[in-house]
Copies of this chain bind each other. A is one copy, B any other.
Amino acid sequence: MSIAACIDEANRLALERMLSALPLLTEVKPAIEAIPGMKEDIILHPGPPIDWERMCGPMRGAVIGALLYEGLADSPEKAEKLAMKGEISFSPAHHHNAVGGMANVISASMQVFVVKDNGKSYYSVVREGKNLRFGSFSKDVIDRLKWTEEIFGPSMNAALAEGGPIDLRDLIARALHMGDECHSRCIATTLLFENELIPRLLKADVDREIISQIISFLKEDQNFGLCLVMGAAKAITHNAHGIKNSTIVTAMTRNGVDFGIRVGGLGDKWFTAPSPSIDGIFFPGFGPEDASPDMGDSAIVETSGLGGMAMAAAPAIAQLKGHKDPYQSAIKYTMDMYEITFGKNKFFTLPALNFIGTPMGIDIRKVAETGIVPYINTAIAHKEMGHGLIGIGLARAPMDCFTRALKALANKFG
């Protein structure tokens, strides 16, 4: 068999495995209970591996927030010292089948959504809805983290135990028909989640005051559903990881300094390049000079064929990004992505493209051949810690990641 045929066969298997995913939200637990090997002095961070010294401002801010929240430090200064001294170890969330959006690090007590699929577990940190994920560590962030720990997590977990798991594939499929691309726009995702959640909360006899609090929480953070999509996307893509000869990308992620990808047939190595800047719309008073480069594990959404890849589902996002013809632009984004993917997802379909499947299975060969890199819908954090969200935009995965991966592939085949 030719090398190309070998690779195609491997990629067909990769697609098949991704399509076999049926991610179910089963539990909400503190990270230390849910994630094997999690410890009190470990902080999991988004993106490829990085240490404190190289971390960008907002991620340092989130680490400080986590240390304050855990009670490991009682001031930002002490937290910074603790992190600097090496008494805390850092590990990429992806190495633990976990994901966190933007700068959202995961510490021991933080609540994670547990997503089960094909006998494996995946973990998506519950975003607290304030600005930890943009590097803020103010009192409202810490208070809200406590609330997710004491109220939200246990109530959610009781609801899932009583009412059964929530089928995330179905939820995403429906949301794509309701104007979400499931990254920058998760409005329907969040509503559909709430619609599944509330009957379970009632069934589990959760206090009505707490139910009201949870509803308010979800109303305030309309894009909350992204956490769930990220968990599902991690499960979907991980199914294609570790398939010999496969050239399908199984993870894309960024820590604000490096952008990294993993490829199904190239082991656990990260192929990295500098994290790109974001073509974005800024809130008044901010501009590109204030922006942190692209950041967070949320690009797992695009890896699974959603978000920027499925922009055709959400012209509203193209409009938000300033396009004059948002509908045509949205279609164009997705059409471009079919050029670099190996197949389509029959479960996730696009009304605006007559219900054909979303582009799935980014093939590093096609990226190199066409010169087209994946689109990633993203938010923009201030480059300095303690600020927050300053805009939204579109990033492109850096070509260097793909060419480096291709070189590794070439070396493998000799």
Contact = CB atoms under 8 A, between A and B. Distances in A.
21 contacts: A177-B316, A178-B178, A178-B179, A178-B187, A178-B188, A179-B179, A179-B351, A191-B191, A194-B195, A195-B219, A198-B198, A199-B216, A199-B219, A315-B354, A319-B355, A324-B354, A326-B354, A327-B352, A327-B353, A328-B354, A352-B352
A84 interface: no
Contact of A191 (B195, B211, B314): B195
A184 to B, nearest CB: 14
Chain copies in the assembled complex: 2
A113 to B, nearest CB: 21
Contacts of A192: 191
B351 A327 contact: yes
Nearest to A201: B208
A332 interface: no
A202 B203 CA distance: 15
Contacts of A319: 351, 354-355
A118 interface: no
Contacts of A20: none
Interface in A307-348: 314-316, 319, 324-328
Nearest to A315: B351
A32 B78 CA distance: 70
A215 B198 contact: yes
A212 interface: yes
A319 to B, nearest CB: 6
A327 B315 CA distance: 14
B216 A212 contact: no
Contact of A199 (B187, B212, B351, B353): B212
Given A179-B177, A351-B315, A351-B316, A203 B199 contact: no
Nearest to A180: B178
Contacts of A219: 195, 199
Closest 9 CB pairs of A and B: A178-B178, A315-B351, A178-B179, A202-B212, A327-B354, A191-B191, A177-B179, A199-B215, A202-B208
Interface in A23-71: none
Contacts of A198: 198, 215
Nearest to A317: B351
A202 B195 contact: no
Given A177-B179, A195-B219, 12 more contacts: A188-B188, A194-B195, A199-B212, A199-B216, A202-B211, A202-B212, A315-B355, A316-B351, A324-B354, A326-B351, A327-B353, A327-B354
A56 B404 CA distance: 73
A99 B215 CA distance: 32
Contacts of A187: 178
A211 B198 CA distance: 10
Contacts of A212: 199, 202-203
A121 to B, nearest CB: 29
Nearest to A190: B195
Interface in A204-241: 208, 211-212, 215-216, 219
Contact of A208 (B208, B216, B328, B351): B208
